[in-house]
Amino acid sequence: MNPRKLTKAGVAAAAALALSFSVAGCGDDGGGGGSGGDNEKITVGIKFDQPGIGLKTPDGTYTGFDVDVATYVAKELGHDPGDIEWKEAKSADRETMLQRGDVDFIAASYSINDERAEKVDFAGPYLLAHQDVLIRADDNSITKPSDLNNKKLCSVTGSTSAQNIKTKVAPDAQLQEYGGYSECLTGLENGVIDALTTDDSILAGYAAQEEFKGKFKLGGFKLSNENYGIGVQKGSELKAQINTALEKMVADGSWEQAVKKNFGPAGYKNEPPPKIGEIVG
């Protein structure tokens, strides 16, 4: 046998072996936004300041319904809780965070609407919320939306919730804009404010906090439909994978457990889990 030919054969074999290692290495890299394997990091956007929904506690842990949903979904994608890197997803930043690839997905009281769906894709919906009001537990003067006329109605600066009520159901409501929901709650507790409005899930989350138990109640007015979805990058394969995870979460009872755990103390009467892909108008 020609020694030169043997050398060429050896070189070819070595190159093929190196290529196989290279391909295998690529396959092990979960990257950002893939379904991932064990011990790969996944980055998830949540709210840090909404008790019952998404809250970063003083000791650095994270609690809330969206946190429980996101943790379950991440597990179904192959990630342990310790693999999750939580990032704050403020309302105004959510689409940009997904478009830039700052996060793999966002679960942050993220209502699905046409404008947002032009920029990102949504898995879900996984919760049907409604705009509602929170009032003092002993206040029997507000039993229907029109009772908000001449009442001091609070919402956070920049929110459309209070304006919706004034425009559609109670034109004489006296709007009060505060910097945050906690300020509205303090005003409500002290009698300076008569009602606080935003999504019922958010209101229930606040009312369920230990310091507020028994002090407030939801009006149950259902002034709008808010379909909460999990945002992903446009065209991401994660959408289908997350939908599968959400369906499993409902089927095995974990969804109902998360609802009761995070909203139950406020007497929140949640809707049944929505069907994946069906938006309630």
Task: State the greatest distance between any 2 C-alpha atoms of the chain, in Å, as a whole number.
Answer: 101
pLDDT of residue 171: 97
Least confident of 73-77, 102-106, 206-210: 206-210
Least confident of 5-19, 129-143, 190-204, 209-223: 5-19
pLDDT of residue 39: 58
pLDDT tens for residues 109-139?
A: 999 999 999 999 999 999 999 999 999 999 9
pLDDT of residue 210: 87
Residue 109 tokens, joined: 């009281």
**Is 177's pLDDT higher than 50?**
yes
- Identify the residue whose tokens are 């709210």: 47
What would the mean pLDDT of 230-254 be, rounded to a whole number?
A: 98
What is the full DSSP assignment across 122-152? EEEEEEEE-EEEEEETT--S-SSGGGGTTSE
Q: Which of 1-5, 23-27, 179-183 has the highest mean pLDDT?
A: 179-183
What confidence category does residue 265 fall into, taking pLDDT thresholds of 50, 70 and 90?
confident
The 3-state DSSP class for residue 197 equals strand
pLDDT of residue 163: 85
pLDDT tens for residues 39-80?
A: 589 999 999 999 999 999 999 999 999 999 999 999 999 999
pLDDT of residue 264: 79
Least confident of 13-27, 97-111, 118-132, 237-251: 13-27
| pLDDT averaged over every residue in the chain | 87
pLDDT of residue 159: 77
Q: Are 281 and 225 in contact (CB under 8 A)?
A: yes
* Domains observed in the chain: 42-129+226-266 (3.40.190.10), 131-218 (3.40.190.10)
What would the mean pLDDT of 2-25 be, rounded to a whole number?
A: 39
Report which DSSP code applies to 104.
S
State the Cα–Cα distance between residues 228 and 230, nearest whole angstrom.
7
**Phi-psi region at 111: left, alpha or beta (left = phi > 0; alpha = psi -120 to 50):** beta
Q: Are 123 and 232 in contact (CB under 8 A)?
A: yes
**Is 11's pLDDT higher than 50?**
no
